Structure 1
Amino acid sequence: MSLRVFTLPGKRSAALAAVSALLLTAGFATTPAAAAAPERGASVPFVEQEAENAATNATVLGPDRTARTLAGEASGRKAVTLAGPGQYVEFTLTVAANSLDVRYSIPDNAQGTGTDGTLSVHIDGKDVRDLDLTSRYAWYYGSYPFTNDPAQGKGHHFYDETRALFDTSYPVGTKIRLQVDAGDVTPVTVDLADFEQVAPAAEQPADALAVTDFGATAGDTTDDANAFDDAVAAAREQGREVWIPTGTFTLGHHVTVDQVTVRGAGPWYSVLTGPRAGIFGKGEPASCSTPTYPGNAAVPGSSTGVTLSGFAIIGQVDARVDCDQANGIGGALGGGSVVENLWIQHTKVGLWLDGPFDGLTVRGNRILDQTADGLNLHQGISDVLVTNNFLRNTGDDGLAMWSEKDADHDNTFSFNTVLLPILANNIAIYGGRDNTVSDNVVADNQDQGGGLHVANRFTAVPLAGTTTLARNTAIRTGVLDSNWQFGVGALWFDGRDSAITGRIEVTDTDLLDNNYEAIQFIDGATNDVHFDGVRITGAGTFAWQLQSKPSGSVSGVVATGVGRAGLYNCLGPDALSGLADEGGNSGWTSTYCGEWPEPVYAEQTQPRKITER
């Protein structure tokens, strides 16, 4: 089934307002609490339409939850494949729009270096333009951290996105058809399209310094990084802003900023690209040498008072090299810094931030098609608000706090929409203290993770204080782990490094159409965890999967549409005795212990065991 998880500005996603009808259609029961749940997820400037719901004469794939398949990696687990000339998918505009962004997949080549092609756009019967497609930023192979070598098998991360800004705006009711014409690439699989009314390019502020005044040239391949450096230095010295005008600028090294504002004409107009496209605070770690980059030394210090706004970073990262800081935004950006209204695509990580530092707001950004994480707050970072961001198709955790060496604390992830991380979790908290995850919508993670994850893992400083998970919605999350070969929970807790002893509060949470179990405990014990008002609506296997013993309290946990049993429990009759029953719980009294069962879904989209392709 498909579920909208965001809407236009001013109409924040009432994700759960539509859930009741959608789940009933899929055969699930709902509760009044689920139907009346508050609005969650990001408010965004576009409307998304799924290809399988549009008019088409081509092949609809899915629903299929199998990893490493085109349907399994698609939004809602369904897509449309255009296999030959004349095949199309046609969308009807529900809002006026002058742009589209298409999520698609085309085949890789035998060498793993990527193929290029086009897809035709017809509007109300007229062929208006071609979309440029490529597979060079998709298709990874082998085992972590993955390669571009098809001989290693295990192909995955099939999709990419391409965008187009039209010369005119089209009204409601316009037919926008994506069609294979003569000379276009086949096959092409279309997952979805986002339609947006993009505002005109912003004007340069009167007192701003344009990078073009320092030698940057748009629309060519010359390296503009030194010109950006000079503009940043002059703007800081003079107390003025840096202006990135309309155009595409190439960066051959990261631009370091401190106590300065860098502003563009809008993320559809001002674009940074190139092999090192990225804006960093001080505190950038050293980068290793790669076949295409000689590496760089660490940049000491920490930046404050930085604002980054209104431009796109569309990089050229086509391989995951974990020791290379090939990220869109990085370093240490504290002291009231703001990152807002950016479009970040084709970098390794959208924002990888290294502490210690304090005080940052990240809001209203789109983070797409990453090789690794979407955003990671890495060690000793505090008082950061990450809110109203839209993330899709990351290569690792969508949003993460990783308290390596020093504890992240007093940070908040709120009102974000996080879709389709190809590896790991939509949102993860690794250690730290007093952090909050609230009012987010997450969906469709793919392997080795779940929708929401809290853990003592990766040598993180152990959880302490109170970790709060409130008013979140997870949809079709939790997967068959390709290593473990059993299901991971939509919400899961892992005391792998040490038992979890910090308090965890889970309140007013909706776990919907879960692929396997809804809630999982594994490895070391999770102590002092408290559930209040958790609605489990559809689970392929279990409401709870107990592979370690929790303690705390549970109230108002209601499960419906569970495929196999309420509890997976091979630990003995006292496995849940540490969770005090405070009433209002139902739907999960039955118990199972045995071989891992196949999940059962209302729409019968059985996932298969992961196989190489």
Structure 2
Amino acid sequence: LNSYWAWQYILRSGTKYPDNIPDEAAKFPRMRFDEMHLKLNEKIPANTPIRLVKADDNDVPYTIDFIELEEVPEALTFDSITDENKILYTSDDGALQHFVSQYNGKTIFLPEGKYEVDGRIIINGDGTKIIGAGMWHTEIYFTASSDDKSTYNKRGIETYSSNVVLEGLYLNTINNKRYYNNDPVYQVGKGLMGSFGSNSSVKNLWIEHFECGGWIEGADNLNIQHCRFRNNYADGMNLAYGCRNSIVEHCSYRNNGDDDMASWSRADRLCENNVYSYSTSENNWRASALGFFGGKQNKAHNIVIIDPMEAGFRVTCDFPGMPFSNEGYSEFYDISVYKGGVASGTIGISGDLWGNQQGALHINSSSQYDLVNINIYNVDFYDSKNDAVFIGSSVHYIRNLVLKDININGTGRYGIYFNNPKGNGRYCNMQYENIGASSNTNTMPSSFSFTEDCSGVSVPNNKSPEIRLFALDGNLHIGGQQNTMVSVYDIWGRKHYHASMLTGPIIVPNLNAGIYIVRWNEDQTLKIFVN
């Protein structure tokens, strides 16, 4: 464990892109943590105490924020793959990137091991599959140093082909900064990039230490599942520039240096009908855990956001490109945000990178276009560091903002802060508790019409579900349905239970404390905290 990939430093005055060169007088730090993962030689029995011991004989202090223990699946083998189109890669076959280019359309299997690669892997054939033994077993390590500005094209996996499959891999890199020499012209490469064509699939990938975990442009019907985007220097995943009909679900984002989950309708390409769901974000240290910037009918739901340094999630008009569509809604629902937002203050001590305030939910019709048709419902905010919800405008207007069933519990200041918004919105069932200011909101300006309207709010019918949940002493009781398939997931997207409620209530026993998602009838969900 060391700090090679941790600690980024940002100028107090000047460009806000971080690097790894400290300067106490001119810079302030972010990205205080990195993480390592270790496969043990044997399984730890249940209820065994775990102890960390510092073995170094020196006075250097270590701060361990947390450890996670999980059961590692058995490594996949070449013989277990039933695809007749399969082909085995070993280090004896030469550079991996050249091997992939020679076998377009094949199912390429990478056995357990670490593969050092000095160039980008480019997939140029429809139907190509790269399958590893599992994210704990097969590592692709990109070795080209980001201290050389010419190495942008030597990291990550890129494709514009369709029906591509990536599965069971850990992608890592020697890179330890966002850009070469703090210059965005010299990017250091994303873990995943290109369009991935149509109908491609990414599953069980662990991606760390790239500029972005993934930046996809122009995908259609891309499916990303059960991935981990952690410790990257910019976005976790961005579905940008015309991505459509794509789903990113059951993923973990941690310690990334820009929006964890984003969709930016960059330039002249509208992003539409994309979904982020059933995912967690932790310790995002710049921008937000989740953000939409323009687009049409994109959705985010069943998301847990924990300890963001700035906004929890945001919908703004900061970036140039295609605006929010007048057709349908961009939707955020079934989301929990813990300790989101930040108060304005001295750069490097408080506020975002510029010292500005950010709400745990940040809504701002700023510099590029109007903010139109935003639908936010069934959202919980806990212990927001400043304002739970920020609603503001600068040049442009907010039109048809909907807030419904919003629970705000604990704030440093207001439940809702109105920062000179212009336009209109509606709300229904706003709940406030433990508000830090003397009132739930500040004074709303006359330039913004924000009216209570439960009858006319155009949101899906969220009537009380016919399922009942109750948790006690690690046991989850589920009732109220019969002949219904029920699944229980933890916040990492791991399934803990799946069965049919045939005749009456069921009990899911021995759950660890935490947040769980109960799913039934394929499309119905509820969150519950098990103590």
TM-score range, shorter chain: 0.7 to 0.9
Q: C-alpha distance in 2, partners of 1:376/1:300? A: 14
* Per-residue Cα deviation, 1:549-599 (whole angstroms, up to 9, x for no partner): 451211011111110044554664x3553434449xxxxxxxxxxxxxxxx
Give 2:406's aligned amino acid: V
Which of 352, 362, 365 is residue 495 of structure 1 equivalent to?
Answer: 365
1:459 matched to 2:320: yes
Q: Helix, strand or coil: the match of 1:333?
A: coil
CA contact (8 A) 1:531 1:554 kept: yes
Which of 175, 182, 187 is residue 317 of structure 1 equivalent to?
Answer: 175
1:476 matched to 2:354: no
Q: C-alpha distance in 2, partners of 1:290/1:377? A: 28
The offset of 1:274, in angstroms, is 2.2
Residues 245 and 232 (structure 1 numbering): CA distance in 2 closer, same or farther, change over 3 Å?
Answer: farther
Between the two structures, name the one with larger relative contact order (CA 8 Å, sep ≥ 6): 1
Residues 502 and 139 (structure 1 numbering): CA distance in 2 closer, same or farther, change over 3 Å?
Answer: same
Give the equivalent residue in structure 2 for 1:244.
110
Give the equivalent residue in structure 1 for 2:511.
none
Give the equivalent residue in structure 2 for 1:291.
148
Give the equivalent residue in structure 2 for 1:139.
7
Q: C-alpha distance in 2, partners of 1:294/1:441? A: 36
Aligned pairs (5 A) from 1:159-308: 159-183=33-57, 186-204=60-78, 205=81, 207=84, 208-212=86-90, 215-216=93-94, 224=95, 227-236=96-105, 240-257=106-123, 258-259=125-126, 260-275=128-143, 291=148, 293-296=150-153, 302-308=160-166
1:357 matched to 2:219: yes
Give the equivalent residue in structure 1 for 2:21.
149
TM-score when scaled to structure 2? 0.75
Q: C-alpha distance in 1, partners of 2:52/2:149? A: 35
Aligned pairs (5 A) from 1:504-523: 504-523=374-393
Q: Report how many residues are paired.
A: 425
Q: C-alpha distance in 2, partners of 1:471/1:571? A: 26
Residues 498 and 150 (structure 1 numbering): CA distance in 2 closer, same or farther, change over 3 Å?
Answer: closer
Q: C-alpha distance in 1, partners of 2:44/2:51? A: 13
CA contact (8 A) 1:421 1:446 kept: yes
Give 5+ residue unaligned stretches, structure 2.
344-350, 456-531
CA contact (8 A) 2:352 2:358 kept: no
1:421 matched to 2:284: yes
Q: Helix, strand or coil: the match of 2:52?
A: strand
Aligned pairs (5 A) from 1:81-100: none
1:556 matched to 2:429: yes
Give the equivalent residue in structure 1 for 2:239.
377
The offset of 1:197, in angstroms, is 0.9
Give 1:174's aligned amino acid: T
Residues 291 and 182 (structure 1 numbering): CA distance in 2 closer, same or farther, change over 3 Å?
Answer: closer
Q: Helix, strand or coil: the match of 1:229?
A: helix
Give me the CA root mean square deviation. 2.5
Give the equivalent residue in structure 1 for 2:405.
533
Q: C-alpha distance in 2, partners of 1:534/1:570? A: 19
CA contact (8 A) 1:214 1:230 kept: no
TM-score when scaled to structure 1? 0.66
Give 2:35's aligned amino acid: E
Q: Helix, strand or coil: the match of 1:318?
A: coil
Residues 290 and 177 (structure 1 numbering): CA distance in 2 closer, same or farther, change over 3 Å?
Answer: closer
Give 2:108's aligned amino acid: V
CA contact (8 A) 2:199 2:222 kept: yes
Residues 336 and 157 (structure 1 numbering): CA distance in 2 closer, same or farther, change over 3 Å?
Answer: same
Q: Helix, strand or coil: the match of 1:164?
A: coil
Give 5+ residue unaligned stretches, structure 1.
1-132, 217-223, 278-288, 584-613
CA contact (8 A) 1:431 1:457 kept: no
The offset of 1:377, in angstroms, is 1.3
Residues 396 and 184 (structure 1 numbering): CA distance in 2 closer, same or farther, change over 3 Å?
Answer: farther
